[in-house]
Structure 1
Amino acid sequence: METSKHQCDIKTYKDVVNKIENSRRFGNDYGVTITKKVLEKLSNPQKNLKFIHIAGTNGKGSTASVVSNILMESGLKVGLFTSPHLIDFEERIRINGKYISKEDVARLGKLLIDTDFQVGLTMFDYCLVMAILYFKEQQVDVAVIETGLGGTYDSTNAIGTPLVCGITKIGYDHMQILGNTLAEIASSKAGIFKEDTIVVSQMQENEALEVLKTAAKEKKVKEFDIVNKVDIEEIKNYKRTMIGEYQLENIATAKKICQKVFERIDFPAKDNIKIDNAIKRGIANATWEGRMEILQKEPFFMIDGAHNSNGVEALCDSLRNLYPGEKFHFIMGVLADKDYEEMVKLLAPLAIDFKTITPDSSRALQNENLKNYINELGINACTLNEIRDIKNNLLDDAKNIALGSLYFIGDIKKLW
């Protein structure tokens, strides 16, 4: 196999991660096209991989985590691929809850970097192909794959036909790429549908739902199932670690996805009692960092990865439910290409005040600009210069909530 010009430069785990993380965000071609070429060059390691494919605007990671946990509790060896990572690169690739080792990242990353694929890989391409190679080596029974962006042209759409497609809540995000309407965005998400697969979707706005139903018919999917209010209500009877009202629908979606998977593959827990127990244990043990995660209780400090208006709306609903009548000190760092104005307007009725920070990203909205917009709404806001300043600015008269960007939340977690 041909080697690339980077071969002599890449020697350690740190070199590999640095190279991958500094790769382009978007390629010169669609991700699905690039990944197909890369996988073909590697003799199609994804062949025979059984997998669940999850797309949506919000809730993908949480849903994928619960799916992985339930399947693991049923006795299967389960790979999980998600993005982005909050702290460590290895978070993106897991088997039965255990991160890929730094040694395996270095070994597989070096292989990919040293190979001349005749195409330019993005960071996401490197991560996805590394996961596929690792899952094949470790002989997983099934993998849970979260899309990166959209569906139709996403790199993950090169893997093949999934056992089950999961569609989480569809909302407005990445409009410059996916489209300006819910119908356009839903059409992109529906691009992961394949003939003979099963689709499980959360409840959607009618505009999005009609597109999903039409796509399901056109793609000749085997079954199209929608998570309903009864499914969601049932989750309240389960012991769970993941708090937040919005997690109820994510967990209900994961449960239904797993029930469909159990119908399609052989697995150790074959009778109904064992399946029910696997579902109960999987839900109880599932966690997803950075989603309504309480980092400390005095002063109270919670972080949440809400990074678009739909995510913020879900967070606000959960805060009202968990802490009725309370208002909060919000700490916000957001990317400039997000709908931050709508996010602030949703938070405003629950806000005592805001502290704004510039996230460590080339796409970041400057803290001063965010503060000025909040002030224009008649809400008190001030800036913090660095993330480390948060620790000395937490107040004890009300709960402190940080949100706005997964990158921002990840940088906060590094300090706790």
Structure 2
Amino acid sequence: MKEVIRSADPRIAALIARQATQYVDSDYLSLDRIAALLDKLGRPQDGLPPIIHVAGTNGKGSTCAFLRAALEAAGKRVHAFTSPHLVRYNERIRIAGQLIGDTKLAELMGMVVDANDEVGASLFEVNTAVAFLAFAETPADACILEVGLGGRLDATNLVEKPLVCGIASLGLDHQAFLGKTMVEVGAEKAGIAKRGVPLVTQLYPPAVADRIGAIAKSAKAIWEPRGLNWHASARRERLRYRDIHGELELPLPRLPGKHQALNAALAVAMLRHQSTIAIPHSALTAAMGWANWPARLQQLHNGPLFNMLPRGSELWVDGGHNPSAARLVADYARQHWNDGLPLVLLFASLASKDAAGTLRPFKGIAAEVLTVPIDGHECRSPQDLAHMAESMGLPARARSGLADSMTTLRKPARVLVFGSLYLAGELLALNGPLPD
């Protein structure tokens, strides 16, 4: 599956352009190309620090953020590979706590693209190989890998013996590749299970859980499901967690929403179901306040686009782009945004996404929908989205872009930019702050 990435650095831009000429497109996922590419590069995946592998439809990036925060609070050096990025490609690769620099990125990407001449790997596969090379040459205590798509056939799944694996919340997305039912999606995510390795999972419907459990058993993984082997709940401004090792009471995370509390709980469970890296209670507590994951119900307090809004307005951004994410954000809005300030949804959607399903949860919550394009990506037209919203009973207007949307408002509003991580990245690039 082709990925759209740009870079302001001319060296990296040229390598991305060269990779595009190498890529052998296909309508199926496979590990063959990434395996061949890594073999040509000397199998850097064999030289990584202890690996923490995270899959899921929604919440896997936030879970990675909580994992990194807890490990770093415990004084550990941590590599992290996440995707997609919001503004800069460098956001995907964090070497011992620091984003990869342009010079190092260009150097390693040049090596990988050279090796890719006869392989034809996708850009995500190239990205994965670059990350593995970077991580293998720099000592660290842990290496967090976020699955890009699915799990079973994701490029990150070439690692053979992770320390612990986890699966965050599930939903329907990328159905052409992952299946049209939640059971099929869950099965693809569970493909990261490895022999003798804990597979820590959230609470799912029985049919989905049964399928994940069966795959874990077949792989001889150690399945650790929430609701059976560990428990978590957010009550009275505290995160309460319990497993065989005992009970914890932690502050709720700084990232807003009940779903983030459960993402944090998954990170806690993953760390407590491995025994190689010691994480004290104080580090888990610190992680609740330290963890930062941009464009997840993030409020922006200043910046050029924010300043275009009427005085008294608020500006929020969330990169959710599927119905399950929309339901979580809509639930948060219903519970917390009830002060009378009208909610204006500034919405866009890639052509491949379920735009109607992503809009529908905001019916009765959003006072108006302003629809925009996503610059440089194949997306639904603002006019089509506005018509779709109106057919649901949501007042809507098509606008030409973010700035046009901000200036069209005449009264104070709570503006939520939603529907695409690419749109969220465009907002942060124009308004700030840049993710670091």
Structure 2 length as normaliser, TM-score? 0.86
Distance in 2 separating the partners of 1:21 and 1:89: 16
Contact persistence 2:37–2:116 (CA under 8 A): no
Secondary structure at the aligned position of 1:54 is classed as strand
Task: Give deviations 1:8-27, integer Å, cap 9, x for gaps.
Answer: xx982342355458875955
Secondary structure at the aligned position of 2:345 is classed as strand
Contact persistence 2:314–2:413 (CA under 8 A): yes
Secondary structure at the aligned position of 1:311 is classed as helix
Q: Which residue of 2 aligns with 1:13?
A: 12
Q: Which residue of 1 aligns with 2:60?
A: 60
Shift, 1:390, TM fit: 3.2
How do 1:99-118 and structure 2 match up within 5 A? Answer: 99-116=99-116, 118=118
Q: Which residue of 2 aligns with 1:278?
A: 283
Letter in 2 for 1:329: V
Compare 309-318 and 197-206 and name the one that shifted more. 197-206
Relative to structure 1, the CA distance from residue 218 to residue 128 in structure 2 (aligned partners, 3 Å threshold; closer, same or farther) is same
1:300 is the counterpart of 2:304: no
Distance in 2 separating the partners of 1:370 and 1:248: 32
Task: Give deviations 1:56-84, integer Å, cap 9, x for gaps.
Answer: 11011111111111112212211111111
Distance in 2 separating the partners of 1:375 and 1:169: 30
Unaligned runs of 5+ in 2: 1-8, 241-249, 303-311, 432-436
Distance in 2 separating the partners of 1:296 and 1:414: 15
Relative to structure 1, the CA distance from residue 113 to residue 299 in structure 2 (aligned partners, 3 Å threshold; closer, same or farther) is same
Count of aligned positions: 399
Distance in 2 separating the partners of 1:51 and 1:22: 32
How do 1:1-400 and structure 2 match up within 5 A? Answer: 12-19=11-18, 27=26, 30-49=29-48, 50-116=50-116, 118-226=118-226, 230-233=232-235, 234-235=238-239, 237-238=250-251, 240-261=253-274, 263=275, 265-266=276-277, 275-296=280-301, 298-324=312-338, 326=340, 327-394=342-409, 396-400=411-415
Distance in 2 separating the partners of 1:23 and 1:117: 6
Letter in 1 for 2:380: L
Task: Give deviations 1:273-317, integer Å, cap 9, x for gaps.
Answer: xx0111111221110001001113742010001100000001011
Relative to structure 1, the CA distance from residue 213 to residue 127 in structure 2 (aligned partners, 3 Å threshold; closer, same or farther) is same
Secondary structure at the aligned position of 2:346 is classed as strand
Distance in 2 separating the partners of 1:163 and 1:323: 40
Contact persistence 2:350–2:378 (CA under 8 A): yes
Shift, 1:235, TM fit: 2.0
Shift, 1:117, TM fit: 5.2
Letter in 2 for 1:52: I
Distance in 2 separating the partners of 1:183 and 1:303: 30
Distance in 1 separating the partners of 2:21 and 2:427: 21
Unaligned runs of 5+ in 1: 1-9, 270-274
Distance in 2 separating the partners of 1:106 and 1:29: 29
Distance in 2 separating the partners of 1:400 and 1:64: 27
Root-mean-square deviation (Å):
2.3
Percent of residue pairs identical: 28
Secondary structure at the aligned position of 1:330 is classed as strand
Secondary structure at the aligned position of 2:14 is classed as helix
Distance in 1 separating the partners of 2:116 and 2:355: 40
Q: Which residue of 1 aligns with 2:306?
A: none
Letter in 1 for 2:165: C
Distance in 2 separating the partners of 1:229 and 1:351: 34
Compare 337-346 and 62-71 and name the one that shifted more. 337-346
